[in-house]
Structure 1
Amino acid sequence: MTVVTPRPQAATPVDAATPHTLGPDSLTWRYFGDWRGMLMGLWSGSMQNMHPKLAAGVWDHSDFFGERWERLMRSLYPIIGTVFDGTDATGAEVRDYHLTIKGTMADGRRYHALDPDVFYWAHATFWYGNIRCAEVFGPKLTEADKRRLFDESRVWYSRYGVSMRPCPDTYEDFLDYWDHMCRRVLRDHDAVRTVLDITALPAPPWARRWLPEPVWRRSVGTGQRLFLWITTGLYDEPIREMMGLTWTARDERRFRTFGRAVQAGLLLVPARYRRHPRARDADDRAAGRIPADAPLLHTPVRNLPSGAEREKPIHYCPVHAARRARLPWQSNDVDD
Structure 2
Amino acid sequence: MTASAIGPDPTGPRTVEPLGPDSLTWRWFGDWRGLLLAPWAGSMQNMHPELGAGVAEHSRFFEERWERLFRSLYPIGGVVYDGPLAARTAREVRGYHASISGVDERGRPYHALNPGTFYWAHATFFMLTVQVAERFGGGLTDAQRHTLFDEHVRWYALYGLSMKPVPGSWEEFQRYWDHMCADVLEDNRPTRDVLNMRRIARPPLLRLLPLPLWALVRIPLVRLTLWITVGLYPQAVRDRLALRWTPHDERLLRMLGGLVHHAWRCVPRRHRFHPRARAGWDRERGRRGRSVRGAVETPARNLPPEERRGLPQHYVPRS
TM-score bin (small chain): over 0.9
Determine whether 1:85 maps to 2:82: yes
Per the alignment, residue 317 of structure 1 pairs with 315
Instruction: Quote the offset at 1:295 in angstroms.
Output: 6.3
Per the alignment, residue 174 of structure 2 pairs with 175
Instruction: Note if contact 1:81-1:278 (Cα within 8 Å) is conserved in structure 2.
Output: yes
Give the Cα–Cα distance (whole angstroms) in 1 for the partners of residues 61 and 286 of structure 2: 37
State the Cα RMSD in Å.
1.7
Q: Superposed, which structure 2 residues align to 1:265-304 within 5 Å?
A: 265-290=263-288, 291-293=290-292, 296-304=295-303
Instruction: Note if contact 1:2-1:115 (Cα within 8 Å) is conserved in structure 2.
Output: no
What CA deviation, in whole Å up to 9, does each residue of 1:18-58 have, x standing for no partner?
x9441111111111100111111111000000001100000
Give the Cα–Cα distance (whole angstroms) in 2 for the partners of residues 177 and 300 of structure 1: 37
Per the alignment, residue 328 of structure 1 pairs with none
Instruction: Note if contact 1:2-1:111 (Cα within 8 Å) is conserved in structure 2.
Output: no
Instruction: Quote the offset at 1:140 in angstroms.
Output: 2.0
AA matched with 1:251: D
Per the alignment, residue 41 of structure 2 pairs with 44
Aligned-residue sequence identity (percent) comes to 49
What CA deviation, in whole Å up to 9, does each residue of 1:204-227 have, x standing for no partner?
24533x211111122112112101
Give the Cα–Cα distance (whole angstroms) in 1 for the partners of residues 60 and 7 of structure 2: 23
Instruction: Note if contact 1:53-1:118 (Cα within 8 Å) is conserved in structure 2.
Output: yes
Per the alignment, residue 331 of structure 1 pairs with none
What CA deviation, in whole Å up to 9, does each residue of 1:69-104 have, x standing for no partner?
000000000000000112310011111001111110
- Which of 45, 50, 65 is matched with 1:68 structurally? 65
Provide the secondary structure at the position in 1 that maps to 2:198: coil
Instruction: Quote the offset at 1:313 in angstroms.
Output: 2.8
- Which of 206, 213, 218 is matched with 2:216 structurally? 218
Per the alignment, residue 94 of structure 1 pairs with 93
Give the Cα–Cα distance (whole angstroms) in 2 for the partners of residues 282 and 295 of structure 1: 5
What CA deviation, in whole Å up to 9, does each residue of 1:183-216 have, x standing for no partner?
10001011001101112111124533x2111111
Instruction: Quote the offset at 1:2 in angstroms.
Output: 4.7
Which structure 2 residue ranges, 5 or more long, are not aligned? none
Give the Cα–Cα distance (whole angstroms) in 1 for the partners of residues 211 and 61 of structure 2: 21
Which structure 1 residue ranges, 5 or more long, are not aligned? 324-336
Determine whether 1:234 maps to 2:232: yes
- Using structure 2 for the length normalisation, give the TM-score: 0.94
Q: Superposed, which structure 2 residues align to 1:145-224 within 5 Å?
A: 145-205=144-204, 207-208=206-207, 210-224=208-222
Per the alignment, residue 250 of structure 1 pairs with 248
Determine whether 1:132 maps to 2:142: no
Per the alignment, residue 113 of structure 1 pairs with 112
Instruction: Mark the CA change 1:35 to 1:110 in structure 2 (over 3 Å): closer, same or farther.
Output: same
AA matched with 2:65: R
